[in-house]
Amino acid sequence: YAPLAGRMGMQGMREELEEIAFRFINPEAYRAVTARLAEIFERNKDVLSEIEKALSTLFDKYAIKAEVKSRQKKPWSVFRKMEAKALSFEQLSDIFGFRVVVDTVEDCYRALGAIHTTWSMVPGRFKDYISTPKQNDYRSIHTTIVGPSRQRVELQIRTYQMNKIAEYGVAAHSIYKDSGGKVNGTAHAISKETNAYAWLRRTIEQLAEGDNPEDFLENTKLELFQDQVFCFTPKGMLIALPRGATPIDFAYAVHTDVGDTCVGAKVNGRIMPLMTELKNGDEVEIIRSKAQVPPAAWESVVVTGKARSAIRRATKNAIRKQYSGLGIRILERAFERSGKVFTKESLKSVLHRLARKD
């Protein structure tokens, strides 16, 4: 359930679920990590206070209204990173960080400019999720600097609206309504037409239309744990897909009808095989034909649950249509042998008599 909460942008709930699960599944590790984090915080609280004060002073200098808060990584997040990268506590450089919350998107970039003008940025540690949001609608600017006391400082810069969405995800719309259309005293429009809402709506549709709940669950779990690539339509619409996705996945992400009628694809202006693995920034144009029926073999190529479900459904419909046509031809021949003309009315008459015999 934690990855599911994360996929819907509900980071607060995800962290709470991970925390509870970690505490019960591996209590010894949980106690050790929690105790060590408390010890490190106690040792560094003066430094953290100094950095927070330096950031606040900087924003005052540039006339940027900002709320600065120190943040500590959660025990499960720290433990997972140590396990994955075989690191000790001493080797972790980002246990502590700071969140800078401002009023507008423009203020986010002004704050970033002020920070990078004052302190050196650590190469390879900058990510702009405002211009390219994550698939769960998470938006922030991430950067790491060599700050006061020559320590590495990890920073997240976001607006109040982005902060609400980062914490509550798809539930942020309800919070917005309950607060009378204001978040932290500022009016914001939290749209229902977001990536997380679209994914949730699509997931519900797949569950409603699918025949096999086990397949649905497996496909959804696969999507939750995969990294992402971001591609574009020729008109510039951003399409987020799991890593390993193909033009077929892209076509179905645009619309089911586009996927069902897909016969080819241009990637960055060049005709490419439909099995091509898409990369970040690719522009994909889908070539379509109304005569196309999705081949059943596509199901083993695609990586998204939406594409798999749609291909399976189209295959079943094609088989049903084929057998329906065969059945009609058999009935036509049977009527012909009996010297009768096959019509809907004559078929109804025969079926009525057969039903009475039963």
Beta strand 262-267 with 270-272 is antiparallel
Confidence (pLDDT) at 311: 92
CATH 3.10.20.30 intervals, the chain: 210-312
Task: List, for residues 59-73, the tens digit of each pLDDT value.
Answer: 999 999 999 998 888
Residue scoring higher pLDDT (239 or 140): 140
Could you give the CA distance from residue 76 to residue 69 in angstroms, rounded to a whole number?
A: 21
Could you give the CA distance from residue 188 to residue 50 in angstroms, rounded to a whole number?
A: 33
Query: Is residue 192 classed as helix, strand or coil in its secondary structure?
Result: coil
Per-residue pLDDT at 295 exceeds 70: yes
**φ and ψ at residue 271, rounded to 5 degrees:** -65, 125
Could you tell me if 252 and 302 are in contact, meaning their C-beta atoms sit under 8 angstroms apart?
yes
Q: What is the mean pLDDT of residues 176-197?
A: 46
DSSP-H helix ranges across the chain: 2-7, 11-25, 27-61, 75-85, 105-118, 160-168, 172-178, 195-209, 213-224, 247-254, 256-260, 305-337, 344-357
Query: Is residue 26 classed as helix, strand or coil in its secondary structure?
Result: coil
Could you give the CA distance from residue 214 to residue 334 in angstroms, rounded to a whole number?
A: 42
Beta strand 262-267 with 127-128 is unpaired
Q: What is the mean pLDDT of residues 151-175?
A: 80
Could you tell me if 319 and 295 are in contact, meaning their C-beta atoms sit under 8 angstroms apart?
no
Q: What is the dihedral of CA 250, 254, 257, 261, to 10 degrees?
A: -40
Residue scoring higher pLDDT (53 or 344): 53
Per-residue pLDDT at 188 exceeds 50: no
CB atoms under 10 Å from CB of 110, counted, come to 18
Closest C-alpha among 140, 143, 145 to residue 163: 140
What fold does the segment set 210-312 form as a domain?
Ubiquitin-like (UB roll) (3.10.20)
Closest C-alpha among 4, 26, 30, 35 to residue 17: 4
Encode 70-90: b = buried (16+ Cβ within 10 Å), e = exposed.
bebbbbbbbbeebeeeeeeee
Strand order in the sheet with 284-288: 270-272, 262-267, 284-288
Token readout for 257 is: 């009808």
Task: List, for residues 203-241, the tens digit of each pLDDT value.
Answer: 656 555 555 555 555 555 555 545 678 889 998 888 888
Confidence (pLDDT) at 182: 44
2-187 CATH, one of 3.20.20.540, 3.50.50.60, 3.40.50.300, 3.30.460.10: 3.30.460.10
CA 229 remoteness from chain centre: 10
Q: What is the dihedral of CA 28, 30, 31, 36, to 10 degrees?
A: 120
Positive or negative, the CA dihedral 20, 26, 30, 33 is: negative
CATH 3.30.460.10 intervals, the chain: 2-187
Task: List, for residues 247-281, the tens digit of each pLDDT value.
Answer: 999 999 999 999 999 999 999 999 999 999 999 88
Per-residue pLDDT at 187 exceeds 50: no
- pLDDT over 90 percentage in the chain: 35
Mean pLDDT of the chain: 82
Positive or negative, the CA dihedral 8, 12, 17, 18 is: positive
Token readout for 255 is: 């619309």
Q: Measured at the alpha carbon of residue 139, what is the angle toward residues 200 and 244, in degrees to the nearest 5?
A: 60
Per-residue pLDDT at 97 exceeds 80: yes
Could you give the CA distance from residue 307 to residue 299 in angstroms, rounded to a whole number?
A: 8
